[in-house]
Amino acid sequence: MKNQVLPETFGSGRVGYPLPNRYGHPYTRYKFMGHLYQALIQKGIVTFKDGEKLERGKSISPELMKVIEESKFAIVILSENYASSIWCLDELAKIIHCKNETGMIVLPVFHYVEPSDVRKQMGTFEQTFVKHEEKENKERVEKWKDALTQVGNLAGWYLKEDCSEIENIKDIVGWISSLEV
């Protein structure tokens, strides 16, 4: 499975678990990620959708963490409410761990969010972390912040109002295809 792409966030990259409004806006999940997923599949790139191939009755977290560990790439799609999902943050922390330990290639997509907001936890990220700090242990929150800082420092794709999502999807798929041998 080393040639597999984990769209993270297909996840975060990533097509997420069927959780309502997980990424802040249904458009992110059902349009952009759906189109990206289809483009990767059509290009013959083995792609994992984290709600699709998990076996029924199995615990999601350990199985997903194993898939993350076995993946060559992770596409992390960061939207304005990404940090409101503890699942997303835990998965991102695991992805960054794999990047640092095994050299996983992490490809961030800043989906209508400023990379600096992700990197510095500003805007909606800052507001969300105020809530996390009230409920979660400090070590876990610091791990999430570090993961966001690291992913925010990576070169990736920055989608904004005046860009073509289709062209960005073509670019992402082309970039991954160029590394596949």
Inform me whether the pLDDT recorded for 169 exceeds 80. yes
As a whole number, mean pLDDT of residues 110-125 equals 92
DSSP H or E stretch at residue 157 = strand 157-159
Catalytic residue numbers?
91
Q: Classify the C-alpha dihedral 134-138-140-146 as positive or negative.
A: positive
Inform me whether the pLDDT recorded for 54 exceeds 60. no
Pick the residue with more confidence: 85 or 61? 85
Residue 110 backbone phi and psi in degrees, to 5 = -90, 95
Bridge partners (DSSP) listed for residue 110? 78, 158
Residue 132 DSSP SS3: helix
Residue whose token pair is 């939207």: 79
Q: Classify the C-alpha dihedral 173-20-87-27 as positive or negative.
A: positive
Residue 106 DSSP SS3: strand
Inform me whether the pLDDT recorded for 17 exceeds 60. no
Which residue, 52, 51, 172, is CA-closest to 110? 172
Residues 6+ away with beta carbon under 8 Å from 82: 12, 23, 24, 88, 113, 118, 125
Task: Specify the pLDDT at position 101.
Answer: 95
Which tens digit of pLDDT belongs to each residue from 128-150?
999 999 999 999 999 999 999 99
